[in-house]
Amino acid sequence: MIVIVSALNDVHALVVQSRLQQESGKEAYIVDSADYPHRWDIDFTAAPEHGSVIRAPGLVIPSAEVEGLWLRRVLPPVVSQDALSPEVVAFCRREAYDFLSGFLGTIDNTLNDPKQNSLAAKKAFQLRVAAHVGLQVPDTLISTNPKSIRNFYDKHGGDVVFKVLTPTSFQFTETRILEHDFLVHLQSATLAPTIFQERIRAHSHLRATVVDCDLFCASVTPSRDHASLDWRLDPDPRIQETTIPGEVVHLLFSLCDSLGLRYAAIDMILNDAGDYFFLEANPGGQFLFVEMRTGQPISSAVARALTGKRKVRSSINSHRSTRDVSPVLGPLA
C-alpha cells in the first residue's frame, strides 16, 4: 500500500495514484492531514514489532505495510472550535501536528523525509546550500533593515528585484522590480524579512524537476512582457523540453543530496551569456504543467520512487540524468 498525504481532490495526488495502479498494480490511498484526527486516525506503538496502524473509513493500514509515503501537501490539522476556547484549539492543533509529523518520519520510503523537507523549504538555507555546492546564485540580501536594503539597491545601480520568502494565502505575491519610487516605503520592510536580489535578465526560465536519480528539464517562455520577471503571471507560457549541461545537472543533484531531498522542483534562469542561475527549490512543487506540455514522464518517476524502485542510469541524456549516489536523508523526524 502507498499512502499519499494531500487534499483528496489534489490532481497531482490523483494522477500519481492512477500511475501506481496502471504501471505497477499498487494501490494508493490519499489522506488529508487537515482531516486528522476527526476523519482518520493513527494508533501508534513505540515498539516496531507491535505495529502501528492508520485507520481511515473502511480501511485499516498497518504501518509495516506502507511501501511508500508521499508528503505531497501536509497541512495543519483542523480542530473543531465548538465549545472550546481558542487556547485549547491551538493546543489541540499543535499536539495533532506534532504527533503526525513524528509518525510520518517513521516511514522508511518517504518522498521527502519530513524533517529534511521542512528545512530545505527555507529560502535562506537553500540559497546558502546552493552557493556552497557551486551553483551560481544571484547576489542576494534578506533583510528588514532599510539602510541595508538601500545600500544593496545602490550597489546594483537600482537593478534589483524583491519577493517574499513564503507564499501568502490572501494574495498572489509575484517577483517585482524594486522601483526607485518604492524606496520611500522602505520603513515597511521592518515588518517582515524580504528577499532582494540583483536582477538576472533571462534568456529563458527553466524548471528542473528531480525525482531520485531522474532529472527532467523544461524551458518556460512567457508571451507577455509583464511576465518576464515571473512567468507565473502568464496563464499560457510556452513550455518545452530542453537540455542543460552535465555539470549543471550534477550540481543540482548535489544540491538535492545536501538538502536531503528526493523530490524537488527547481527554478533557474539562463542568461544571454549562457550562465545558469539558481533561484529556488520547492520540495513540494507542481510538475503536471510541465508533463502535460512536454510529455516528460514525471508522474511515473514519482510513482516508481514510491514503490522503492529507484531507477539508475549510467550516463546523462537529453532531458533526464542519474546520480550514482544515494540521497543523503537526515534522521527521523
CATH class of 112-138+200-333: alpha beta
Q: Write the DSSP assignment of 98-155 as a string of letters.
A: HHHHHHHTT-SSEES-HHHHHHHT-HHHHHHHHHHHT-B---EEEES-HHHHHHHHHH
Give residue 150's pLDDT: 96
Q: Cell numbers 497531482 correspond to what residue?
A: 12
Q: Cell numbers 518517476 correspond to what residue?
A: 301
Going from N- to C-terminal start, the domains of the chain cover 2-108, 112-138+200-333, 139-198
Which residues of the chain are modeled with pLDDT < 50? 312-333
Give residue 309's pLDDT: 65
Give residue 311's pLDDT: 53
Neighbours of 331 (CB within 10 A): 9
The CATH number that domain 139-198 falls under is 3.30.1490.20
Kindly tell me the sign of the dihedral angle through the C-alpha atoms of 53, 54, 55, 57: negative
Distant-in-sequence, close-in-space partners of 140: CB < 8 Å, separation ≥ 6 = 127, 195, 196, 197, 198
Distant-in-sequence, close-in-space partners of 130: CB < 8 Å, separation ≥ 6 = 137, 255, 278, 281
The DSSP H or E segment spanning 289 is helix 288-294
CA distances from 53 to 29, 45, 155, 200, 213 (A): 14, 9, 57, 50, 31
Give residue 327's pLDDT: 35
**Per-residue cell: 104:** 510520518
Kindly tell me the sign of the dihedral angle through the C-alpha atoms of 187, 188, 189, 192: positive
| 236-294 pLDDT, tens digit each | 788 999 999 999 999 999 999 999 999 999 999 999 999 999 999 999 999 999 999 99
Spatial CA neighbour of 24 closest among 58, 1, 40, 46: 1
Contact 231, 220 (CB under 8 A): yes
The reported pTM is 0.87
